[in-house]
Amino acid sequence: MTATELSVDGVTLTAGARHLVRDVSLTARPGETIGLVGPNGSGKSSLLRAVYRVLRPDTGQVRIDGGDAWSLPVRQLARIVAAVVQESAADFDLAVREVVAMGRTPHKRLLAGDTPEDAELVASALMAVDALHLADRPFDRLSGGERQRVLIARALAQQPTLLVLDEPTNHLDIRHQLDVLGALRRLPATVLLALHDLNLAAYYCDRLYVLHDGEVTASGPPADILTPRLLAEVYGVAAEVATHPRTGAPQVTFLPEESHL
């Protein structure tokens, strides 16, 4: 499996007269983990929807390995791109193991049964997110965090070469946030994800794109991007940024409002 190259070229998305994103370009080289950060409403989710082909760009292109993503047959796209979205309201009346096995569908013939290899990939995906013990539980009886981990496992079982995730650490406790992001980093795939936690983004992402009011405000390695000045301009807060003594990653500390004075 070879990781995919992603290129977003001058993409604009609108909803009526409102711009969701405006003239956004980004690249993700094969095997990179790219983070989208920015305040609520900055366009992160909309941009991701254009990449996994839910929102068609008004202008611009999304390219996968140089070809137009929107021209790919659905089955071929599903073998390349897996998505984990925020708004998933699926309430599957299935066991967890069966939900994760759905990720194998793009690689199988119509009505083909599961193979021993499929079962092994499902178990491996569940182990990666610390959910193997949930395999026989009904999906619709899980907690929000457990469901999130299962949906991420389903995407891992799909064996994509490009994985797109919208706030994958939502609902997860700290341990499972680290487990999930660590598993994503180890994948032989390109990863594009939106994150709210800037310290997680700084540690796990190779490069960041900062979105503000639907436009890219800055992009580059986390150490170059996460500065007190940018955080004040984009988030409207005061912050200190230091280098973590053990990881070497930028570490952001937000200052309470009274310290602004």
- Give the separation between CA 167 and CA 71, rounded to whole angstroms: 27
pLDDT (0 to 100) of residue 86:
82
Q: How many independent structural domains does the chain possess?
A: 1
Residue 101 lies in a domain: yes
Tens of pLDDT, residues 116-138: 999 999 999 999 999 999 999 99
CB proximity list for 56: less than 8 A, separation 6 or greater = 50, 70
Name which of 65, 85, 60, 75 is nearest 8 in CA terms.
Answer: 60
The CATH number of the domain holding residue 79 is 3.40.50.300
Q: How far is CA 1 from CA 76, 157, 179, 193, in A?
A: 14, 13, 23, 20
Tens of pLDDT, residues 38-73: 999 999 999 999 999 999 999 999 999 999 999 999
Residue 1 lies in a domain: no
User: pTM value?
Assistant: 0.94
Domain that holds residue 68: 6-260
Residue count of the chain:
261
Tens of pLDDT, residues 163-213: 999 999 988 999 999 999 999 999 999 999 999 999 999 999 999 999 999
Average pLDDT for the chain: 93
Residue 107 lies in a domain: yes
Residue 48 lies in a domain: yes
